[in-house]
């Protein structure tokens, strides 16, 4: 399908979504799903472009209450469904799934889906119950939408690894596609929470990508000591206006830590500036003498998935 001139349908009920899903059966291209909480920015739209390159695309807009820890911003999280609908219409999205909380968590709901291990470090240490909410809602959405490909963004690297494990462990017949982190011109990773920042706070927030720059520079200079690199990232983040949750170097395979950095690793930072909790990360393949920027998971890049699924639209090289 090409770009749409008519309004993109907003579906509220699982039954409506399933009826649409049946209409999409039989195509040579996969049905692709992009789960979001709405308030779509350019990073979201880039993920939708990746999705549309593979096949018919369904985008969910659902602010999931169970992934917000006590005291977080659930009530004030931006909700702009009509504006999101217009952005998605321009990209030719087939439908928006925007259910109510009661439609996702039916009255009397008592079921939760837990991924252990990968959810313990990083954000798991600072956001009580967050990943339990993420894995539960994604399981529900996967069962309703029944996509063949699901697209997530690498900005939420730990979430991507958790969803990858969820799909594997529960035998979902879904390919995970991880799109690159979208960035603003000032280097800040795109996030709906960036709108909480004042101009002065946004300038302060640029220490997050700078901390990753510092980690990359040390790795490229030959440094392999994890503690030294983490300390250097902490030094960059050490500003009065910044409340740091973590600045870690973790193995991608299990999010564990090694004294000496080698193999596929992710440098990940999380900090609160003003009223915004922000994340950023950068992934590296680290050898004894060579360091290169790398995708989080090679088998989850759009380029890799294009070997399995014929693309219906070409993608710019930076997305591959």
Catalytically annotated residues:
44
Closest of 91, 72, 84, 111 to residue 5, by C-alpha: 91
Q: Residue 280: left (phi > 0), alpha (psi -120 to 50), or beta?
A: beta
Backbone angles phi, psi at 214, to 5 degrees: -65, -45
Short-list 163, 167, 175, CA closest to 51: 175
Q: Can you tell me the distance from the alpha carbon of 13 to that of 97, in angstroms, rounded to the nearest whole number?
A: 8
Closest residue by Cα to residue 134 from 79, 180, 68: 68
Cβ partners under 8 Å of residue 120, min gap 6: 255
CA 116 to chain centre: 19
């Amino acid at each position: 399908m090409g770009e749409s001139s008519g309004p993109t349908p907003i579906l509220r009920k699982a039954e409506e979504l399933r009826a649409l899903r049946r209409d999409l059966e039989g195509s040579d291209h996969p049905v692709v799903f992009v789960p979001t909480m709405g308030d779509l920015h350019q990073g979201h739209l880039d993920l939708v472009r990746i999705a549309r390159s593979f096949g018919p695309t369904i985008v969910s807009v659902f602010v999931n209450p169970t992934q917000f820890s006590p005291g977080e911003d659930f009530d004030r999280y931006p909700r702009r469904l009509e504006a999101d609908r217009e952005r998605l219409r321009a990209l030719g999205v087939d439908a928006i799934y925007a259910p109510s909380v009661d439609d996702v968590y039916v009255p009397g709901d008592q079921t939760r889906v837990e991924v252990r291990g990968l959810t313990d470090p990083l954000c798991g240490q600072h956001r009580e119950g967050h990943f339990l909410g993420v894995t539960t809602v994604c399981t529900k959405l996967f069962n309703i939408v029944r996509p063949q490909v699901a697209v997530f963004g690498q900005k939420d690297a730990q979430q991507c690894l958790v969803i990858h494990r969820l799909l594997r462990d529960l035998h979902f017949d879904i390919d995970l596609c991880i799109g690159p982190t979208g960035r603003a011109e000032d280097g800040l990773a795109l996030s709906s929470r960036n709108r909480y920042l004042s101009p002065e706070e946004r300038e302060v927030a640029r220490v997050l990508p700078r901390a990753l720059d510092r980690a990359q520079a040390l790795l490229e200079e030959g440094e392999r000591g994890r503690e030294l690199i983490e300390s250097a990232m902490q030094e960059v983040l050490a500003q009065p206006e910044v409340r740091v949750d973590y600045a870690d170097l973790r193995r991608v395979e299990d999010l564990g830590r090694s004294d000496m950095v080698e193999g596929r690793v992710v440098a990940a930072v999380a900090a609160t500036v003003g009223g915004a909790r922000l994340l950023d990360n950068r992934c590296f393949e680290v050898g004894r003498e060579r360091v290169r920027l790398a995708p989080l998971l090679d088998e989850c890049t759009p380029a890799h998935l294009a070997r399995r699924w014929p693309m219906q639209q070409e993608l710019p090289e930076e997305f591959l």
